[in-house]
Structure 1
Amino acid sequence: MTIYISLLFGHLILLAFSLNFCRFRLSTQLNKILILLMVIYSYGLAILFVQEWLLLFSLLAIFTATAIYQTIGLLVALPLISFVYFYMNGFELYHFVIFTLSALTVAYLTNQGAAYVRTQNRWKSLLIKNSKQLNVIREISIAMQQTRDLDKVLHIIITSVTAGHGLGFNRALVFLFDKNKDQLSGMMGIGPLNAQEGIDKWRKIAEHKYRLIDLLEIDDEKQIDPQLNQIIKHLTIDLDSDHILKDVLLSGKHRVIYPDKVHDHIHQLLINKFNIDEFLIIPMIYQSTKIGLLILDNPVSKKSITEQEIDNVIPLASLAAVAIQQAQLYQEIEEMTLKDGLTSLYNQRALQNTLQKHFNKQQIEPLAMIMLDIDYFKTYNDTNGHLLGNEVLELLAKAIKDSIRESDLAFRFGGEEFTVLLFNTTNHDVNLIAERIRKSIESTVFPNESSQPGNRLTVTLGYAHTEQISNPSPSRLISAADQALYEGKAAGKNCVNQYRISLQSK
């Protein structure tokens, strides 16, 4: 008998070592099956060789099955093991009560333990998610504090909600509210236009092992999904009719839009433009001021948007609203410092900044400058007073803006002198635009212009092109245009005069 018991325990030890060897290489379910098979094998050996220990092994088999498979294990193992035991030893109520109470106790304790583990895992998962969210918000806050540029702020926002180390949405779109035009303007987006594009981008990010902070530092616009931004930046949505975006903006409440039906024409527009399916709209509001909307979806993973994800992104949307508001205010203040208060044209400081940026590029593109001056303006002021003089400057500024192209920039250089910069244009086109400005001003009706020589108010223009200047620089271009203006004044005024290289020798 001792030999049988020794062999039995030897088998158990061997099986235990084998199971321990396999447990890290197999799934949880396979490990459970192996344990159960080991117990069944041991129970069979006990039946054959050590029936005196059959009660112990019967209890062990019931405990193991119940512990592994809880209620199902109890329902299967208790009657089966009881039948085998009572068949071998005859029915005893005492043993049946022991089997039943022991199995119920193990089942209860196992269920309680499993529930405890599930609760702990749930709290652990929630803690990890909250920690991740706090870390994302911390990194975003730091990044936003380092810039006042609106485009950079928007880039930080959409990157943080789409990055794998961020909040993990596949795509984000930002629309800002323009209260003057009562419309939403598409500003920036990040994410794929289709699933394959998204997979390719994820693969690239994984290969480079980008962290969230790395993605935030990427500020090259060519790397921020140019096709998506080409669409969104040309998209404006009027708020003069009812639709889902207007509803969210006015109510201030987020909304998940499901693909079961098309709600309105704006929903259909988003489907057509972005192949959008289920998506989340979150309003960005700061102190009752409507800032805009954040639209999020998962076109690649097709993952449904959960309440937990919504709870995670809402604080970020609030933080984004504050950052955007501050960036817009800074932009307005910066704009004010670069604008002339009377004419609303850019001022001389803006002119110098623009020229410095242009000439600091590695490859300088063609640039032309027109300088114009009001003829006999001192006579006009002396005759009519400075109030009417200011009105003339306002009307003249409007005539200049109406005469130039959208890509051109107009500046008030100082006093009655104005400047226009023309980018990527030929010398011939500069002459046409300058002449158009001159004729526009000549045909404009100014107050009391009959007091001027010739009974009308006129201007003289001089222009220069970088192609005409050796080693062009801001000062050389200004000097050349000013010299052309001076020559035009000397030639009789109310004319357009071109800078000529021969003038350099004079």
Structure 2
Amino acid sequence: MDDYKLKYEQTKSEYESYQRITESKLQELSTINVQYEKNLDMLSNVLFISNYVNSNLSSKNIIPIINDMIIGIIGVTQSTVYLKEEEIFVISATNGTKESIKLTGECIKYIDQHKTFILNSKIPITKDEVNKICIHSRMGVPIKVGEECIGYIVVDHTHFNFLNEFHELFLNTIANQIAIALENAILYKKIEKAAKTDSLLGIYHRRTFYEIINERLTEEDIKKYAIVMVDLDDFKKINDTLGHLFGDKVLIETTKLIREKLGPKDILARYGGEELILYIDCNCPVNEIFNKIDSIREAISKNFIQDGNIRKSITASFGLGFYPYDGDTIEAVIKTADQYLYKAKDAGKNKVLGSHKYMYVD
């Protein structure tokens, strides 16, 4: 009987030991499973942000939207994205207040070293008395392109010990996505600019000029404007006698000279070959526009283009059209300017011509 009782106790002990081991393993597997689910959620969110970034390269609000995503995905109280401008980190997006996102000396030390940091403190790291925000947990991760640190993501929570290595992994991944977004945005802008501008002169194409002017005339209440057609005199002769490279230099330097004399709202574009077109903001008497264009004409004629042993000055002819005096559409005003350009060429070149009937109209 005692043998049976002893065997029972041994079996019971073995079963309880097995049960404890099994429960421990189940708990361990459950913990691992929860971590896998977290990792899967993080991966899913990273993929979502990545897809969003790739679909919105041209969006001006891409950083603020990513910042909002960070807040929603990891559940922090506030998030701030800093980007470097002229060697200084400037806030690009935040949902915090000036006081609550303030960087402490310890934070600045890590940022200067371009290091990731996690700060947890029972005493508030920062606080905003007015809005009753006390930050007890803060994390910062650098945004890097190659070895260069171009920004920082700093996230905060009001709870002590909220942020940990799991959040660090996620934020590092997001920092990489922001870096990719910025690189792609820069590339996108370069491609966009290349599509809109003349590769030689760096000014708008004819088609882009029309698009910009029509958009401006649609969106703004513009009462007056001038269109100026410009043609470099005897340009074909320059190409034939001095070569196309010197001809290109003439175009580049003359275009630069004209651009320097334009106002902030004036627009210059290459209309075709050696012909340029100008949109002039016309908030002054018409005769002042004539004087402005004539000063450009004179500056061109006095400018010498130098290339090695070649040194030559050129002249240009100008035709002016004014809205609303010369037509009620952009096409009509351009047509008038073009007609006066050819009259200037026929009259001996190096002239500015337009209708004199409205010379002193305000």
Query: Considering the TM-score relative to the shorter chain, is it more than 0.5?
Result: yes
The question of whether the paired residues in 2 share the 8 Å contact of 1:136 and 1:166 is answered with no
Partner SS state of residue 204, structure 2: coil
Amino acid at match of 1:284: K
* Alignment-derived partner of residue 252 in structure 2: 394
RMSD of aligned C-alpha atoms?
4.5
1:315 and 1:173 map into 2 onto residues whose CA distance is 14
Partner SS state of residue 151, structure 1: coil
Partner SS state of residue 446, structure 1: strand
* Alignment-derived partner of residue 133 in structure 1: 42
Question: Are 2:353 and 1:493 equivalent residues in the alignment?
Answer: no
Deviations 1:90-135 (A, max 9, x none): xxxxxxxxxxxxxxxxxxxxx99x9999979976875665455334
Task: Note the C-alpha offset of 1:406.
Answer: 4.2
Cα distance change, pair 307–499 in 1 and its aligned pair in 2 (3 A): farther
Cα distance change, pair 244–356 in 1 and its aligned pair in 2 (3 A): farther
1:469 and 1:184 map into 2 onto residues whose CA distance is 51
Of 299, 303, 316, which aligns to 1:444? 303
Map 1:226-265 to 2 at 5 A.
247-248=113-114, 253-255=115-117
* Alignment-derived partner of residue 284 in structure 1: 144
Question: Are 2:334 and 1:472 equivalent residues in the alignment?
Answer: no
* Alignment-derived partner of residue 55 in structure 2: 146
TM-score normalised according to structure 2 size? 0.67
Partner SS state of residue 410, structure 1: strand
Task: From the CA coordinates, give the structure whose radius of gyration is larger.
Answer: 1
1:257 and 1:480 map into 2 onto residues whose CA distance is 69
TM-score normalised according to structure 1 size? 0.50
2:252 and 2:89 map into 1 onto residues whose CA distance is 30
Amino acid at match of 1:172: T
Task: Note the C-alpha offset of 1:290.
Answer: 4.0
Higher helix share: 1
Partner SS state of residue 305, structure 2: coil
Of 477, 481, 484, which aligns to 2:337? 481
Deviations 1:139-174 (A, max 9, x none): 323322323315254344333224x35654523234
Task: Note the C-alpha offset of 1:392.
Answer: 0.9
Partner SS state of residue 317, structure 2: strand
Question: Are 2:166 and 1:308 equivalent residues in the alignment?
Answer: yes
Residue identity over aligned pairs, in percent, reads 20
Task: Note the C-alpha offset of 1:396.
Answer: 0.8
Cα distance change, pair 472–159 in 1 and its aligned pair in 2 (3 A): farther
Task: Note the C-alpha offset of 1:399.
Answer: 0.9
Task: Note the C-alpha offset of 1:187.
Answer: 8.2
Map 1:26-65 to 2 at 5 A.
none
Of 141, 148, 159, which aligns to 2:68? 159
Cα distance change, pair 391–132 in 1 and its aligned pair in 2 (3 A): same
The question of whether the paired residues in 1 share the 8 Å contact of 2:233 and 2:315 is answered with yes
Deviations 1:300-350 (A, max 9, x none): 958775433222211111122223322322321222232322222222233
Partner SS state of residue 56, structure 2: coil
The question of whether the paired residues in 1 share the 8 Å contact of 2:327 and 2:333 is answered with no
Task: Note the C-alpha offset of 1:459.
Answer: 1.6
* Alignment-derived partner of residue 200 in structure 2: 342
Task: Note the C-alpha offset of 1:405.
Answer: 3.2
Gaps of 5+ in 2: 1-19, 102-107, 122-134
The question of whether the paired residues in 1 share the 8 Å contact of 2:227 and 2:277 is answered with yes
Deviations 1:445-487 (A, max 9, x none): 1249xx99xx8422222344444455434x3343243234334
The question of whether the paired residues in 2 share the 8 Å contact of 1:399 and 1:441 is answered with yes
2:94 and 2:158 map into 1 onto residues whose CA distance is 15
Map 1:331-410 to 2 at 5 A.
331-359=189-217, 361-365=218-222, 367-410=225-268
Cα distance change, pair 120–464 in 1 and its aligned pair in 2 (3 A): farther
Higher strand share: 2
1:189 and 1:425 map into 2 onto residues whose CA distance is 37
Gaps of 5+ in 1: 1-110, 199-241, 260-275
Cα distance change, pair 161–427 in 1 and its aligned pair in 2 (3 A): farther
Question: Are 2:173 and 1:173 equivalent residues in the alignment?
Answer: no
Task: Note the C-alpha offset of 1:244.
Answer: 6.3
* Alignment-derived partner of residue 17 in structure 2: none
Deviations 1:419-448 (A, max 9, x none): 233457445564454344323322321249
